[in-house]
Amino acid sequence: MKTIKYLLFFVCAVLYGNAAFAQKKNDTNVRAFEFEVGVGFAVGSKDGLVGMVPGPHFLIEARTNLKDTPWDLGFQLAYGGIYRKDGYHDYVTTNRFSMVAFTDYNFRYWDKVCPFAGIGLGRTTIRAEFPDSVSGGTERPVLSSTYPAVILNPRIGVEFFNHLRLTAEYKCTFDRRSSYFALNLGFAFGGGRKK
């Protein structure tokens, strides 16, 4: 929970720190719609196990830039997988598919670089697989469970040249075992400044 508190504090500080740029104009003359495809990696905590291995993170997101404002609204579909190692050198995997609605504030003070910060709220499906430690053989069966959870998703990032996006986000499910940090590189089709 400390990580989420620090990230939320940073997002708020960035949003309210906009006053420092009051002498510059935040360009809102941008195209209305954009669509992003991204790939990255997800990292979770060990959560008392022997180790943790980063997993893949994939996303697609549609966004609309609100007219005459620096805000946008988006809807993201993402898949992330994190892997944890138990004492038997097997992996306990936690994979999830999430649907998150976002709002972002865009700092469009420069021509080629646009920092942004935002927050999302949505739903995720978690699938956890655990080796059965009770079984006595060398080939242990895998126990699995799937369940839904609410997800809070703060994020920060930078868009380069109106299309290339580097984003850091924290998908928090209020359960340390299934929350994770992701770093993504995406490409946005559409959007950008109007000519």
* Digit-coded pLDDT (tens) for 24-76: 688 788 889 999 999 999 998 777 667 788 899 999 999 999 999 999 999 99
Quick one: what percent of the chain has pLDDT higher than 70?
Answer: 75
Q: What is the pLDDT of residue 70?
A: 94
- Give me the mean pLDDT over the 156-185 stretch: 92
Q: Which comes out higher in pLDDT, residue 49 or 117?
A: 117
**Tokens at residue 62, please?**
């549609």
pTM, two decimals, is 0.78
Evaluate if residue 164 carries a pLDDT over 90. Answer: yes
Evaluate if residue 19 carries a pLDDT over 50. Answer: no
Across 31-35, 132-136, 139-143, 145-149, least confident range:
132-136
Q: Which comes out higher in pLDDT, residue 6 or 127?
A: 127
